[in-house]
Structure 1
Amino acid sequence: MTVVVSKETHAGETRTALVPEHVAKLVAQGARIEVEAGLGISCGHDDVDYTRAGATVRTDRAAMLTAADIILQVRKPALEDVKNLRAGAVLIALLDPFQSPELISALAQQGVSAISLEMVPRSTRAQKMDVLSSQASLAGYAAVIAAAAETGKIFPMMMTPAGTIKPVKVFIIGAGVAGLQAIATAKRLGAKVEAFDTRPVVEEQVKSLGAKFVKIDVGETGQTEGGYARALTDEQLRLQREGMARVCAESDIVITAAQVFGRRAPVLLTSEMLDAMRPGSVVVDLAVESGGNVEGVAADQIIERKGVKIVGTASLPGRVPVHASQMFSSNVTALLTEFWDKETQALKLKLNLDDDILKSCVVTHGGRIVNEKIATTP
């Protein structure tokens, strides 16, 4: 079974799907690993590290992909790469399936079995394979560090002969995995932290990290079976914005991490709300790649609006590529070893679509789109 790991083609992507530590583990289980030359340079691993772990380093990308049984990537492949994949090959990556209909159709037509890592369910059994959670945790950390780099203030309170410096006020919108890690990081740096989420169930988690939970009555809300926030109505969004406006105006840093799985991120900070913030304030939008929570945000740009900096850094986990790659690689290795053919003791994936995990995350198989949610998305 040949497992191929190709270099990322997405602009600015610094992560890799497999690190040498996990190459050695898969080789020990019978896999033949081939990696593209220069695969791990951006995350601290050179070709020699991969060779020592048991991988073969290749320079002919097209030939690698054509011969692959399993292809591992962080981001979705380019359409020209899909043409090189053989029927029956298994592609595992973050495929962004709801926003990539052309890619998903091409994979189906090519006869590729595609596993979209975003679709791995949030269940106890699948926890070790949950790429979204592992990367979101790092994104939350990186968001706070990015804000710290852009603000003109220090985070902690400091008492000096020259006077007392007050701690910065940080407001975090969205207390999912990323938001909770942002809360924890901001608190460790000494900030005064407030947080809001539409799901009342997370209030206890917010408080356990030392932050104040901001309560805004927007009516009945909740979360999906997978633990994601449900989409709000237009009226609920209006009430939410009104409730957040005061807190934003009093905050030095606002971090938005509100996303709805499979849909465009809701706009939470309007131009009017930004105008009410003090000059020197910083806003970091964690949802920029899915449309953004902040009006006017732009991917991979820092826009200054009346003295307020709006940071739209895409792929924040890529700001810490060493650990992001380590965690991503661990998740993918867990998925591979969970479904390898234990009867023959060979690393051959058994794609049983009746399995609750595979039923959720396999989006194309046998020449067709097999995931109902993806197949019915207009």
Structure 2
Amino acid sequence: MRLLHTSDWHIGRTFHGHDLLDDQRWVLSELAGIVRAEGVDVVLVSGDLYDRSVPSGEAVQTCVDVLEEIRRAGAELVVTPGNHDSPQRIGAFSGFAAAGGLHLHTRISTLHEPTVLSDEHGPVVFYGLPYLEPDPARQVLRSSAAPGAAPGAVERGHPAVLGEAMNRVRAELGARDPLPRSVVLAHAFVTGGGSSDSERDISVGGVDQVPAEVFEGVDYVALGHLHGCQRITERIRYSGSPMAYSFSERRQRKSAWLVELDAEGLAGTRRIELPVPRELATLEGTLEQLLHAPEYEYATDHYVSATVTDEVRPMDGMRRLQQRFPNAVHMVWEPAEGGARAPLRYSEAVRGRDERQLLRDFVSNCRGREPSDSEGELLDRALTEANLAEVRR
């Protein structure tokens, strides 16, 4: 049996305010081509199908279109929700969806109940663990019995609830005779994984990581949550997100894992790179350098994050950047050494200064230079009008 391990689609996400739906539809539609080219039997989505718990109508339609395209290409799908998703919304009509080849694992109380699919070597069982937010998951697990056991206490924290979930998976799996091949989908931060800026923090009390040993006893673990494609162990892997969702991911090659199961279990894995709708670039220099230097020409069609190093904050910096880089989406001003004063603590910044001076200091701090005489007159006029309005109130 051939599996395509994906995760973190985040359909509906924006990139610094830029709508990504068309890019997402294009990249995710490529999964159907991989299904056909590689003879994939099952596509796995290990959480964060959507970017928010209440996705827009356009995001939902994009998701439906992509799932239908994958299904028409010949693969069944196994999907679990992540920390961005609403399990209730994703799991709606799951019984009907399964009849069409879309298997949705969204309920904590039934996480030990697998989807069973078969090939020429027999059955493969797929356990989908929805994202287990520690306190709510703990309450559900405590009130629902594991197979062959009475309800009992579950310790606090992500490692504890995920450990209890895997205990239930292993108990259900061990009760099968003969022992089938097994796959677990989970959405978690496993120790040893490398994170990026676009993942939402799932730490609780400062502890968010779970040890890889939690997943002992199954043939393959398809992880989601971290956006970089990576290997924790030979049988425990992250596929990463299909697109870059932060500039910290600009050097990542977005991929999916092609996983092959033979009669004995995991037979091999192969990384398949996904197409890139638009490259990312981070640039640094004065605004004039960024606008005219030939070494930045390569980035004219990229999403651009620019660090502007002028001693004085440029006027209309982003608008001017977009004249050369139409897809510039982020700009910060960080003056070169000596171009900005050292920051003051609040008490030091306001000591001995009246409203007029504080207003001028604020403008100086934002711009990197003192206001001109004409600007000072405008500031004085604005302050006078604000004080009069306050008196009249």
Greater share of residues in strand: 2
TM-score by length of 2: 0.29
Greater Cα radius of gyration, structure 1 or 2: 2
Higher relative contact order (CA 8 A, sep 6+): 1
TM-score by length of 1: 0.29
